[in-house]
Homo-oligomer: A and B are copies of this chain.
Amino acid sequence: MKIIKKPSALQKNIEKLRLEGKIIGVVPTMGYLHEGHLSLLRIARKKCDVLVLTIFVNPTQFGKGEDLDRYPRDFKRDLSLARKEKVDFVFYPSVNDMYPNSYQTYVINKVISKKLEGEFRPTHFEGVTTVVAKLFNIVKPHIAVFGQKDYQQAQIIKSMVKDLNFDVKIILAPIIRESDGLAMSSRNVYLSLSERNEALALNKSLLLAEDLIKKGERNCKLIIQKMKNFISKNKSIKIDYIKVADLSLSQYLKELKNNTTCVILLAARVGNTRLIDNKIIKIGSK
Contacts and interface: CB of A to CB of B under 8 A. Distances in A.
Interface of A: 7, 11, 15, 18-19, 21, 102-112, 129-130, 133-134, 137-138, 140, 159-160, 162-167, 248, 250
Given A15-B167, A19-B21, A164-B133, A105 B107 contact: yes
A103 B111 CA distance: 9
Contacts of A19: 18-19, 21
A125 B146 CA distance: 31
23 contacts: A19-B19, A19-B21, A102-B248, A102-B250, A104-B109, A104-B110, A104-B159, A105-B108, A105-B159, A106-B107, A106-B108, A107-B107, A107-B108, A107-B133, A107-B164, A108-B108, A130-B164, A133-B133, A133-B164, A134-B163, A134-B164, A134-B165, A137-B165
B105 A164 contact: yes
A5 to B, nearest CB: 14
Contacts of A250: 102
A109 B21 CA distance: 34
A38 to B, nearest CB: 27
A10 to B, nearest CB: 10
Nearest to A103: B163
B163 A104 contact: yes
B110 A106 contact: yes
CB-based closest 5 A-B pairs: A105-B163, A104-B111, A137-B165, A105-B160, A138-B165
Contacts of A108: 105-108
